[in-house]
Structure formats: C-alpha cells, structure tokens
Chain A
Amino acid sequence: MSKEEKKPFSQTMAEWRQFVYNPRSGEFLGRTAKSWGLILLFYLVFYGFLAALFTFTMWVLLQTLSGDIPKYRDRISSPGLMISPKPVTALEFYFNKSDSKSYAEYVSTLKQFLKSYDDSKQSKNIACTAGKLFEQNEDRAVKQACQFNRTMLGSCSGVEDDTFGYAKGTPCVLVKMNRIIGLKPEGEPHIQCSPKEEGKVQITYFPDGGTIDLMYFPYYGKNLHADYLQPLVAVQLAINSSSTKEDVTIECKIMGSPNLRNEDDRDKFLGRISFKVQMSE
C-alpha cells in the first residue's frame, strides 16, 4: 500500500508492548488470563483425548498381531548375506598382519559373535539330520534348535588360532545368511566366493564347499526359537604376497538353491555380498 505511512518505531514498539500485556483490559497476548486458561484447558482435554485415542488404537493394533510371527513377510522373501566382522566404515578391511592393534577390532568382534556358538551354550540343542529341513510340529510351544559346532569352522573357529588368521595374513570372514522366519531353502545351498581379479587370493571354505545345511531351516522366530543358531560359513583368504597392499574385492554369493535369489539389480546384498580386503605387512 503506497498510501500507508510507515509508523514510527516507538509507536510500533508501544503497540507490541500493549499486545504483550494490556494493563487496561488485563489482556495478555490479546487474551485475558481466563480466556488463556480456557484455551489451555481445552487443548489439555483435546490432546489428552487424542493421546488416549492414539494409545487405544495402537493397543488394538498390537492386539491383532501375533507375538511369534509377523503378519506379513512379503518384504523379505529372500535373505540377504552379511559378513562378520563388519568394518565400521563401508565393507573394507584394512589391517597390518604384524600390527595386532590394526585387527584387534575384527578379532574381538568375531570372538564376541562366536560366543553363542560355544558348546557350553548348545547343551539344549539337538543334533539334527543333515541335509533335511527340520520342520517342527505346530503345537510345539518352544521349537528346538540344531547344533552348530564351532569346530565346523575349522581354522576359522578361533579354537586353535585366536587371531582368526589375521596374524598370519590369512584373515577369516564369516558369511551368514539373514534369518527369515519360515524360509525353506531348496536344493543344496552353499556360499561361493570369488575375487574380482583371478588369482589374487586362495579361498578356503569351512565347512567344506561352503555348504549351508538345510537342517537349520526353517527358522521359527525369536520368540519360539530362542536357541536358534544360524548356520555360518567361514571364508579364509590367503592373499598372494604379490597382491598385498592392493585392494582385493571379494564377492560371495549363495548358490545352488533355486529359491534364494542372488542377482537383484537394486539390492546389492540380496543373496550376495562383496567386500574389500587390504592387507599390509
């Protein structure tokens, strides 16, 4: 508005002060204390009601859910692969085999991870029939778990070599398949890893051939299957001395099972994983 003259600053300030507190009408920010009180009360009641309503509807929602298995599993139809130890940044291992500090993190992670695979923890687990799915009766409240002995991981088990090969320049990496409730792999699933460039690394699998035994499936969920141990495949890398100080990229895939996908354009971890190793001496 061209005609509207600018009010002097002092007047603007006075108007503001008047607005903040008007001593004549007792209005505070344009309303009286009583009015503010009523408004406050209204919002208290209103939001109280909303909170109660939200809580109630959430409760109703939770009532419709089973504590054992989620209602839908369609977003995870096929499992991802993951490794342990997981470097903090990206999936890149950097270590110096002669400097124990450089791999201490990896070793301790592995130790921690394998603790649940100690024999002492597996007293309740049973020895299952290898090569067959271990389906358990529906009415069984607590599902039994199959044994997975650390010894199956051979030189990567940490039993003989408590640096998991890192000190010798033959680091171990555990490859595991994500748990999915009710997943029943078909065929003979096994992990197969290959370096991007041929010949830079020799790879040894534990158990032999990187097999993942079917007896560990299906998984029944955290609640019913508390003792469940997921099968592991250890990969020991022997990096050629010529390739030290170079990045070695290793890609692992789950193979041999028609219902475990490993070629998804968008999900780089669905049935596969790739990580880098750089070792110095």
Chain B
Amino acid sequence: VLQDDHKLSKEELEEKYTTSISKGLTSARAAEILARDGPNALTPPKSTPEIIKFLKQMVGGFSILLWVGALLCWIAFGIQLAQGVASAFDNLYLGVVLALVVILTGIFAYYQEAKSTNIMASFSKMIPQQALVIRDGEKKEVPAEQLVVGDIVEIKGGDRIPADIRLIFSQGCKVDNSSLTGESEPQSRSCDFTHENPLETKNIAFYSTTCLEGTATGMVINTGDHTIIGRIASLASGVGNEKTPIAIEIEHFVHIVAGVAVSIGVLFFIIAVSMKYKVLDSIIFLIGIIVANVPEGLLATVTVSLSLTAKRMAKKNCLVKNLEAVETLGSTSIICSDKTGTLTQNRMTVAHLWFDDQIYSADTSEEQTTQSFDQSSQSWATLSKIVTLCNRAEFKPGQENVPIMKRVVVGDASETALLKFAEVILGDVMGIRKRNRKLAEIPFNSTNKFQLSIHETEDPNDKRFLLVMKGAPERILERCSTIMINGEEQPLDRERAEAFQTAYMELGGLGERVLGFCHLYLPEDEFPDTYPFDTDSMNFPTSNLCFVGLLSMIDPPRSTVPDAVSKCRSAGIKVIMVTGDHPITAKAIAKSVGIISANSETVEDIAKRLNVPVEQVNKQDARAAVINGMELKDMTAEQLDEILINHSEIVFARTSPQQKLIIVEGCQRQDAVVAVTGDGVNDSPALKKADIGIAMGIAGSDAAKNAADMILLDDNFASIVTGVEEGRLIFDNLKKTIAYTLTKNIAELCPFLIYIIASIPLPIGTITILFIDLGTDIIPSVALAYEKAESDIMNRRPRHKKKDRLVNEQLAVYSYLQIGILQSIGAFLAYFTVYAEQGWLPNTLLGLRVNWEDDYYNDIEDSYGQEWTRYQRTYLQWSGYTAFFVSITIQQVADLIIRKTRRNSIFQQDLIHESPFFPFSRVQYWFVAMPYAILIWVYDEIRKLFIRQYPGSK
C-alpha cells in the first residue's frame, strides 16, 4: 500500500516527518533515523551460499546412484578384508574411483556454472552516489546511502534521484521514468498533486530514475527497500525461479536411466541370490550393473556442450548467465518483449515531416548520415531554419569525430531529436545559431505549450529580426494567419486548415509526437536594431504568424527488429509486446516491426471498418489485439487465457510490473515456454518469472540484469533469433549425444548379465567401463554437440514442452534394444575370439566362472589341455577386457557416424574427422567387431531411409 504523501501540504509533510523544509534535519536526528531504517540501498537478492551450490552438484543427477555404488564397494571391501580375500582392495579402489568420478564431475559442473555467473559480478558493481542534502541548515554532500526519511535533497538535470522524493520546489524539472514504467517520454515534475495514484502524480520523483533537466528540491519520503523500485525488486525476488526446460529434460532422462539401472540391478541381484551366489558377490554384480548403466561422463558432456554453445552465443552478443538457459531459447514458444529499448532505439527521432501540403518520411535507422526526402522546396529551407534556431539542445563539446546519432546532447528528447535531425541535414547547427544570434527566448512550458525565440538573421543586409516558434500543432496553428506553400506565404483558409488537420491526425495516429513550426520576420521599422525584447511582457507579436510545417517524432524501431520478428514467426514463436507505453504508440510500433502484421486487424479496427460498435464484432475474426493495462486489471485469468489463445498478435499497453507478471503466468498456463525481454526495473519480476529472462546489456538496469538469465550485449532483439537457433541446435545435438552415449550402456551391461547367468569369465571390468564412459566416449559426444543443423531448424515449430522430450521412448528403445544389442553381440564376438585363440573355446568358458576366479586353482585346463595359473587367467581376462573395450570403441565410431544425423543419410551430411583414442591391443581385435560396426551403420541407414519415406509413423 502506498502512502498519500503526495496529497499532503508542505506543512503537513514537515510535521509528519518532523523536519524543516528550510533547515532540513539535524545531523543527530538523521543519524537516529538511519539507525532505525537502515541505509538507503536495496538489499541485494539473497544468493545461495557457494557451498550449497557445490553440494547440489554432488548429489544431483546420477551422483546419488554412483554414491550408492561407491558405498556398496566399500561395504564389500570391508567384508572381504575381514574374510581375508586377496582382491579386497580392488573394491576399495573402485569405490574411490566412483567417488572421485562424482566429485570431479561435480567440481567441473560447479566450475562451469560459477564461470558463467562470474561474468555477472561485474554488472552489480555500482558507483557510489552522492546526494546534495540540507542538514543543520547547511547544504552538504552525503553518500546517497545515508539519506533518511525527512531529508531535504536538491536535484538537478543529469542526477539520479537518490530516493523516493516528494517535490516541494521544482523548476522545469523532467524525469525519465522509463526504467520504472516503460514510458519512453520524459515526464515533467512539479509540486502539484495531479493524480490520486502516487505512481502517476507529478509531485513524486522515484528512486533510481534520472532527472533529465531542470532543478527540484524535495523531501525524502521512502528509502531503500521501501521505495517503489525496492518494492518491485522484492516482488522480483519473491518470484521463484522456474526450472529450465533442459533441466526438466535431463531430470527426465536421469529418471529413465536410473530406473533402468536400479530395476535391472535389483532384478539380477535377486537372480544372483537365487542362483546361489553369495550375497557379497551379488552386491559386487549390483555395483557392476549400476556402473555399466550410468553414463558417468554424460552430464559432464552436457555441461561442456552447453558451455561451448554459451561461448558461441557470447560471441554473437548473447551472454548467458545460467548455462541451462542456453537451450531454453530453443524451446521458447512465446516471446514477451518490452517495447522501449528492446524493439525500439529508445531515443526520439524525427520520423515524418509535413510541409507544402505533403507528408515526407524521414530515415529513422540507427546509422543515418543523410536524409533522402525532397529538400529542394523553399519551405524546407524555412522549416529547417526554425528547427535549428528554435531549439535549446546542444551537443556536448569535443564530439566532432563521433557520428552525429551517437553524440551526447544536453536537452530533452524531442529537442535532441530535432537537433540531430538538423545536424544531419544542414551540418554545423551550432555555427548557424552563432550567425543568427539569439536575442530573446521563451522556453517551453505546459501552460502556453510553445517555445519561442527571436534572432538576428545571418544576412547582413537584412536588418529584420526573425521570430521562430514551435509547439503543440493546434496551439501553433491558432497563432497563424498564413501558411507557407512552396516558399510562398498564402492565406490560411479553411481548406488549408483541413489539410493540416488531416496530416496532424495521420501522424498522431502513427503514435508519433507531432510539433508545429511557424515564424515571422519582424518589420524593420517597428523593431529596430536596439529594440528591447522583453519575454515577460511579450512586447512582440505572437499571433498572425506564418505556419511552416509539422515534424513528428517517434522512438523508432531498431532496424533489425522487423526481420527478427518475422524469423520468430516462421520459427513458430509468438511475439507479444508488453509495454508501459500508450496503446497508440505501442500499436504503431507493433505494426512497424511486424508484431501486428500488415493485414491483421484488431477488434476495434474491424468495428471501425464495418462501422459497428465494438461489442458486435466477432472476436474470433480479429487476429490482433491491443489490450490496455486498465482492461487487463479487470480481467479474470480465464479471460486472459482466452485472449492469449484466440489472438495470435497481441500488444499489451500501459501495463504495470505486476501485470507483466500476470501475462507471463498466463502464457505459461498455455504450456508455453516463455521468454521475456526487458530492460527496466519494472520488467524484473517478469524477467524472473519467465522461463528465460533476457535483459538488455547497454540500456538495461542492474535489476533487470540480475533477474535475467541471459543478457543481450548489443541490446539487439535480432540476437534473440541467433539464440533460438543455437538453442534448438543444442537440443537436437544433445539428443544425438545421449543416443550415442546410451547405446554403449547395453554393451557394457550385457557382459555382467551374461557373466551372472552363464558364469563365463568377466568380459569387461568396471574400471574399463569407467574408462570408456569418461575417456574414449567424451570427445566424440562433445563433438556431436558441434553438429550442424540437419534441416532448417528455424522453419519448424518450437518443441512442445511435454511431448517432444529429449529422451523419448523411441530413442531409448532404439538405443537400448536395437543398436545396443547389436553392439553387445559384436563385442562378445571379440571376447570369444580372444579366448578361443588363446585356447579357451566358448563351450569351455560356460560355467567356468567359479573355478576361473579361484585364487588357489592354478592348473585349470583349457580346451587344448594346457594348464593355466590364476594370474595367467587374469591376464587373459584383461586381454578380454581390452578386446571388448576396443570393440565397443570401434562400434561407437559407427554409432558416432549414425548419430551425426537423425533423419538425413550420412551421405547428405559432411563428415568431419574424429579419432577416438585407442589403447594398445593386438591389432586384429580392432577388426573383429568391424562387420558389426558396418552392420550398425547399414542398419541405421535403412532406418533413416524408412523415416524419410514414411514420416510421422510411430
């Protein structure tokens, strides 16, 4: 609930805050209040302690499963040690390795996460701010942090407002509230109570907004977290962070794999126990099954892939704060974009001109250096002179080498726009002003709504003075009796006045701010050289002037935005504009960037076209909708849902921060993945609520950047499109990576199952499995993250959050039951080959396990009558591991090849050359599984052929 300080008189305020407007607080009293209220600063958002973040990495994902494995290992070690089994230490080491795997991948993920968070730290550094305050009857500079309620502060143009202030004195004060409300136009501030709503009234200036010009004195009424901005910030921190879609997908995947691991593990534990294996042995089997099933390296791979993409995106000016957000853009189905600063350039620019009874369009692009409209008319020469002279804005000195559009200007937004416009066309505005010396001036004020100045002319022979005036068009027109057409003064008759009205309405309808310009050459005889112009008594004519033309200004869209919006469209992403600005302006910008396409209409448009009341229009006919914040306030959630569903092109205007939040929630109710872009403090709650919040890097406020997941360093909406593309690509590629990784799990698992059931010597050891998972498989799976897109990923719809999963049934079944089995068979062939060639034929191996593993049985006979010691057998077993390992690796090469594409034949894609790392082994064993590797390839090519021939079948 907001206070009503804006309604109180100065005396009441003094009383309420026990202060004095002239003398301020005493230092002692200020110190007391400071002690009571705390410093005037926003409490930074609570961050999770680093140790918690670290521990989270230790227990997330498969870690729990691996911890269980490690624990089982140590238990087995303990028991075996007590029993005096020689190989007990193997289990100790395996347990240590498993724990190390968890810890190292945890550290790695933590490091990656921390690295991307660290980039952010630089943003939160703020320069300490000073405030000019009256205390003990003296003006003092104190740090803004020490301001307290009741302090009297003085502000001037260029200052940041140090707290929420009730103005008690103001002179031409204007503030930029855009970071708070999203309005791009400067707001004037006076001491008058103008509106019930403290947010709208003119006598309150808000913390963290900037004073653009003028001076003011005010009393601090709120500090720190109690300020409006503080409340919005706390609203933002109250919004829970949603889990990112990729986090949900990975969780889903972890559940699948962990489910398979645990159920197979338990199943075979039971089988093993009922086959009269010792419980201890069964536990060891269980460990093997867990280790084989869990893709230990995968989460690290995912992290690497994501951070590689994050890096790539950073190069394209998308800075990702939260690694998982990399993918979120890819699944985004609705973008709620702020207007000011995101879609627009956030500076007023001259967009249209009207003179000689004709509308001209001006170039509004960011990098304009010339203007191409017809400048031959004499009227234009006259108009340009008024624009140049009747203007108080000035370039800050020392910017001669800076492009005109980038120069810093002292002055308000409209005057700045006019100054730059004139500079672009005429050049050296300051020189022209010098040659046409200004003699008198009435600055713009809200009562007369015009600005006027009187100049000497630069023609030495012309002794007349030139009076130039600009202001609200209707007010200017009132003061004119003639109008300039093609350089000739003509009487302003009704026809001309109507033409003016039409043009004025048309430009106004475009959401542009229109200014009228007129002039008058003062007759030499009445106004001689020495005439004393007095602006207070206005001893000069201010009527019967000559109307010259209109100029209209707008905060124009960025030139890259329309293209980006249409790309989002074709990518199936709905772009919704959510702004604090006026509906007309919002709609005009929406139309010009394509958020409302050229041929779609709102309900109001249809009503106007058919000439029927709005209520009679069938809402289904209107594709577009412009919703005012006031309407939104009265809407129920269902009504909002209806709008979101029925209209494809939506603009929300005059929205408050809370409403932005409501809109985002409404979109999320439609199962959409919502991206929100914004730069202001007012956007921060929505940024946080969104699945991915995107803040502007240049124009964005710190609050917005803190709440966002991603920052556009160049403030360019088009960068989002890049982000979407990268996000979709990484999702596709992670799918490939996972498919690739899952396949070999079966080939790692089968050995254990066959080992238990057929009692053959163990084909592959746990450590070897870890070596595949964490060694040879890492590089290829990361390489898959670099795959190029198979088809135009920007032409398909965003994935459905609940239907298009990262790991679905088909992927799991195909990897596990088809390619996985194929791979296992290939690997077993290699295993049997190694044993057979050393003298152990397959039939001898069956049922051999118990004797094979007996440490004291040192003369086991092989198929040829030779006898083997335990160590010789172990050594052979290791050779078997190597062969099995090599076969898996070789077949993983085939797997890598087939996984490079999901639909296209590999012959349609460029092959890049990877060389997974091979350990030493008898060279021919590399080739035993080769036919199976080739078979995998051929088989998958056939599958892809079918997929292409019969798309969409189950």
Q: Which A residues form the contact surface with B (CB < 8 A)?
A: 1-3, 35, 43, 46-47, 50, 53-54, 57-58, 61-62, 65, 68-73, 75-76, 79-82, 86, 89-91, 176, 178-181, 219, 221-223, 225, 228, 264, 266-270, 273
Contact = CB atoms under 8 A, between A and B. Distances in A.
Contacts of A179: 861, 865-867
A2 B870 CA distance: 58
A179 B868 CA distance: 8
A81 to B, nearest CB: 8
Interface stretch (B220-228, B380-388, B646-654, B817-825): B817-825
A267 B871 contact: yes
Contact of A69 (B833, B864, B868, B875): B864
Given A61-B833, A62-B836, A75 B842 contact: no
Contacts of B457: none
A91 B858 CA distance: 11
A269 B875 contact: no
A216 to B, nearest CB: 14
Contacts of A73: 838-839, 866
B859 A176 contact: yes
Contacts of B838: 70-73, 75
B867 A79 contact: yes
A82 B857 CA distance: 8
A54 B867 contact: no
B871 A266 contact: yes
17 contacts: A2-B242, A54-B825, A54-B828, A61-B836, A62-B836, A62-B841, A70-B862, A73-B866, A82-B859, A89-B856, A90-B856, A178-B868, A181-B866, A222-B865, A264-B871, A266-B871, A269-B869
Nearest to A65: B836
Contacts of A71: 836-838
B829 A61 contact: yes
A19 B865 CA distance: 58
Contacts of A54: 825, 828-829
Contacts, number: 120
B501 interface: no
A81 B859 CA distance: 8
Given A58-B829, A70-B837, A80 B868 contact: yes
A223 B866 CA distance: 11
Contacts of A57: 829, 931
Contact of B817 (A1, A43, A65, A269): A43
A222 B248 CA distance: 61
Contacts of B856: 86, 89-91
Nearest to B828: A54
Contacts of A86: 856-857
Contacts of B866: 70, 73, 76, 178-181, 219, 221
Which of B839, B861, B864, B867 has the most chain A CB within a 10 Å cutoff? B864
Interface in B44-101: none
A1 B248 CA distance: 9
Contact of B865 (A62, A82, A225, A268): A225
Interface string B856-895: 1111011111111111100110010000000000000000
Contacts of B832: 58, 61
A199 to B, nearest CB: 27
Given A61-B833, A65-B836, A73-B839, A47 B821 contact: yes
B954 interface: yes
Given A54-B829, A76-B872, A270-B871, A221 B864 contact: yes
Contacts of A53: 825, 935
A222 B838 CA distance: 14
A58 B842 contact: yes
A142 B876 CA distance: 29
Interface string B221-237: 00000000000000000
Main SS of the interface on chain A? Answer: loop
B460 interface: no
Given A80-B872, A82-B869, A267-B871, 8 more contacts: A1-B243, A46-B818, A73-B839, A80-B868, A82-B867, A178-B858, A267-B870, A270-B871
A80 B860 CA distance: 11
B793 to A, nearest CB: 26
B886 to A, nearest CB: 16
**Interchain residue pairs A-B with the least CB separation, the first 7:** A222-B865, A80-B869, A70-B839, A178-B867, A267-B871, A82-B859, A71-B837
A116 B498 CA distance: 129
Given A3-B668, A54-B829, A76 B868 contact: yes
B282 to A, nearest CB: 21
A225 B864 CA distance: 10
B240 interface: yes
A80 B867 contact: yes
B825 A50 contact: yes
A226 to B, nearest CB: 9
B858 A273 contact: yes
Contacts of A72: 837-838
A65 B861 CA distance: 18
B829 A80 contact: no
A35 B867 contact: no
B701 to A, nearest CB: 26
B647 to A, nearest CB: 23
A157 to B, nearest CB: 21
Given A50-B821, A75-B838, A180-B866, A268 B871 contact: yes
Nearest to A76: B872
Nearest to B931: A57
A156 B863 CA distance: 30
Nearest to B240: A2
B575 to A, nearest CB: 23
Interface string B682-722: 00000000000000000000000000000000000000000
Nearest to A182: B866
Contacts of A178: 858-859, 866-869
A180 B866 CA distance: 5
B806 to A, nearest CB: 16
Nearest to B834: A72
Contact of A75 (B829, B836, B858, B875): B875
A268 B856 CA distance: 10
A180 B864 CA distance: 9
Nearest to A220: B865
B871 A269 contact: yes
Contacts of B817: 43
Interface string B252-293: 000000000000000000000000000000000000000000
Nearest to A51: B825
Contact of A180 (B242, B867, B879): B867
A86 B870 CA distance: 14
A244 to B, nearest CB: 24
Nearest to A54: B825
A62 B842 CA distance: 9
A178 B865 CA distance: 10
A271 to B, nearest CB: 10
A75 B870 contact: no
A43 B821 CA distance: 11
Which of A75, A267, A268, A273 has the most chain B CB within a 10 Å cutoff? A75
A53 B842 CA distance: 16
Contacts of B668: 3
Contacts of A268: 871
Nearest to A264: B871
Contacts of A223: 864-865
Nearest to B872: A76
B109 to A, nearest CB: 22
B822 A219 contact: no
B869 A181 contact: no
Interface string B467-480: 00000000000000
A269 B837 contact: no
Contacts of A267: 869-872
A59 B142 CA distance: 92
A75 B202 CA distance: 93
A62 B243 CA distance: 56
